[in-house]
Copies of this chain bind each other. A is one copy, B any other.
Amino acid sequence: MEIDVLSHLIAEKAKLIARVRRIRGQVEAIERALDNEAACGDVLQLVAAVRGAIGGLSHELIEHHIQAHVLDPDHAQAPERRRAAEDLMGVLRTYLK
């Protein structure tokens, strides 16, 4: 079972890094678009897409942070605190999307 937890964490990390790499690719596309003097409206859309992607990444990392570090992952939480954390994550979803 410990091996399962570890392989889960490794898979999580790989997924997050892949996600950040896609964002890097999107930023490079902005650079190329400016270099090629793409239409201004197209550049604006590329930038808006990066902003959305960064918001999604933030939200995922914040959820992880709450579950792994603010709540106590090694102990069962009092159900009210777990519920309060879920309320918080639900609200943050609307702010960060």
Q: Which residues of A contact B (CB under 8 A)?
A: 13, 16-17, 20-21, 23-24, 27-28, 30-31, 34-35, 37, 40-41, 43-45, 47-48, 50-52, 54-55, 57-58, 61-62, 64-66, 68-72, 78, 80-81, 83-85, 87-88, 90-92, 94-96
Contacts and interface: CB of A to CB of B under 8 A. Distances in A.
Contacts of A27: 20, 23-24, 27
A92 B70 CA distance: 14
A81 B65 CA distance: 10
Given A16-B34, A47-B54, A70 B81 contact: yes
A44 B28 contact: no
A23 B51 CA distance: 12
Contacts of A52: 94
Given A23-B27, A44-B87, A48-B91, 18 more contacts: A13-B35, A20-B30, A20-B31, A24-B28, A27-B27, A40-B61, A41-B65, A41-B87, A44-B58, A44-B65, A45-B91, A50-B54, A51-B54, A62-B91, A65-B84, A65-B88, A66-B88, A70-B71
